[in-house]
């Protein structure tokens, strides 16, 4: 039986490998899993290159949205990026918060932390730091962040209730998050959930959209909004790796779909962590 710790070990190992791959390899796969397609096809990620603070060395093509674009980051804010990878969203956030703010990236993959720290040093940023840790148990004190962002990461985490509880804890009262993630509308074929590569590739770990939003509400957040949504179209050669031709036809004809959503929510101004 696969346990939560087994799944975490799988994702950690896979993303250590992904840290060493090129952006082009990651963009032609399921969130960098390397298992999927021969087509030059950007399945999940959006284009960051026009945003201030963008650094090509930090962009591994692993995202599924642009949460920092929607995060309403102000000068001087303390921003936390969950699953910070090579630092892409952190550096975009740093352009928004400026030299008077602070950005903290959290990632539990050693190779990603190393890569991000090298990128930050090259850029000369002394107010961007990267901490290795599990986002189900963040290495951060309570009530410290103005904004939390995350890009295509929470779908990989087994205990999503715990992650959103931790986000609530580390946000200041009146703080907010903007998170891009993969969710489902309708049930995927059962065999997909048994494929480890797809779990590390952001698909099989995703949950139903309404369940995802309910977890956010259960954690205590208010003013929950969908800032952006898009359907994820998987190329036929990806589908063909896991489904028979008849199953591919049935999947494409079904209303079930994989979506990227960017969600915003607030911690009420009168809330304290643990209250």
CATH no. for residue 100? 3.40.50.150
* Residue 86, token pair as written in the block: 């090579």
What is the layout of strands, in order, in the sheet containing 78-82? 128-132, 102-107, 78-82, 145-151, 171-185, 257-266, 222-232
Q: List Cα–Cα distances, 36 to 4, 39, 201, 233, in angstroms.
A: 24, 9, 9, 13
Whether 275 is covered by a domain: the verdict is: no
- What's the full length of the chain, in residues? 275
Whether 236 is covered by a domain: the verdict is: yes
* Residue 68, token pair as written in the block: 């920092």
| pLDDT of amino acid 252 | 80
Q: Which of 82, 85, 62, 56 is nearest to 71 (CA)?
A: 82
Q: How many CB atoms lie within 10 A of CB 247?
A: 14
Whether 79 is covered by a domain: the verdict is: yes
Whether 138 is covered by a domain: the verdict is: yes
Whether 273 is covered by a domain: the verdict is: no
pLDDT along the chain (275 residues), means of 10: 62 57 48 42 59 66 79 98 92 95 94 92 94 94 97 86 97 97 82 58 78 98 96 76 82 81 96 73
pLDDT in tens, 244-266: 888 888 878 877 778 889 999 99
Bridge partner residues of 171 (DSSP): 145
| Chain center to CA of 164 | 13
**Strand pairing of 171-185 and 78-82?**
unpaired
pLDDT in tens, 130-146: 999 999 999 999 999 99
Whether 177 is covered by a domain: the verdict is: yes
Going by C-beta distance under 8 Å and a sequence separation of 6 or more, which residues neighbour residue 174?
Answer: 266, 267, 268, 269
Q: Which of 192, 99, 85 is nearest to 130 (CA)?
A: 85
- Give buried/exposed letters for 68-81 (b at 16+ CB in 10 A, else e): bbbbebeeebbbbb
Whether 159 is covered by a domain: the verdict is: yes
| pLDDT of amino acid 37 | 43
| pLDDT of amino acid 40 | 34
Please tell me the distance from the alpha carbon of residue 234 to that of residue 130, in angstroms, as a whole number: 33
Domain tally, the chain: 1
| pLDDT of amino acid 197 | 52
Whether 135 is covered by a domain: the verdict is: yes
What pTM value is reported for the model? 0.83
Going by C-beta distance under 8 Å and a sequence separation of 6 or more, which residues neighbour residue 58?
Answer: 85, 86, 87, 88, 90, 91, 116, 119
Q: Write out the residue range of the structural domain in which residue 185 sits.
A: 4-249+258-266
> Is 63 in contact with 44 (CB distance < 8 Å)?
yes
């Amino acid at each position: 039986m696969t346990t939560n710790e087994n799944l975490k070990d799988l994702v950690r190992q896979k993303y250590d490998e992904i840290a060493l791959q090129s952006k082009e390899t990651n963009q032609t796969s399921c969130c960098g899993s390397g298992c999927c397609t021969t087509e030059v096809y950007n399945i999940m990620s959006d284009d960051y290159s026009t945003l201030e603070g963008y650094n090509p060395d930090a962009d591994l093509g692993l995202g599924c949205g642009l949460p920092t674009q929607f995060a309403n980051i102000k000068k001087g804010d303390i921003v936390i990026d969950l699953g910070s990878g090579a630092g892409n969203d952190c550096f975009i956030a740093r352009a928004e918060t400026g030299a008077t703010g602070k950005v903290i990236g959290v990632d539990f993959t050693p190779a990603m932390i190393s890569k991000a720290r090298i990128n930050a040093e090259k850029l000369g940023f002394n107010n961007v730091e990267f901490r290795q840790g599990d986002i189900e148990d963040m290495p951060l004190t309570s009530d410290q962040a103005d904004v939390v962002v995350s890009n295509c990461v929470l779908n990989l985490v087994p205990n999503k209730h715990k992650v959103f509880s931790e986000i609530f804890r580390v946000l200041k009262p009146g703080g907010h998050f903007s998170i891009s993630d993969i969710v489902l509308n309708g049930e995927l074929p059962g065999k997909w959930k048994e494929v480890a590569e797809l779990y590390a590739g952001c698909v099989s770990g995703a949950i139903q959209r309404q369940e995802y939003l309910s977890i956010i509400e259960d954690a205590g957040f208010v003013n929950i909004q969908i800032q952006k949504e898009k359907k994820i179209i998987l190329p036929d050669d990806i589908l063909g790796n896991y489904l028979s031709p008849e199953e591919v036809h049935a999947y494409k004809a079904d209303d079930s779909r994989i979506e990227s959503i960017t969600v915003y929510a607030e911690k009420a101004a009168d809330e304290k962590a643990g209250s």
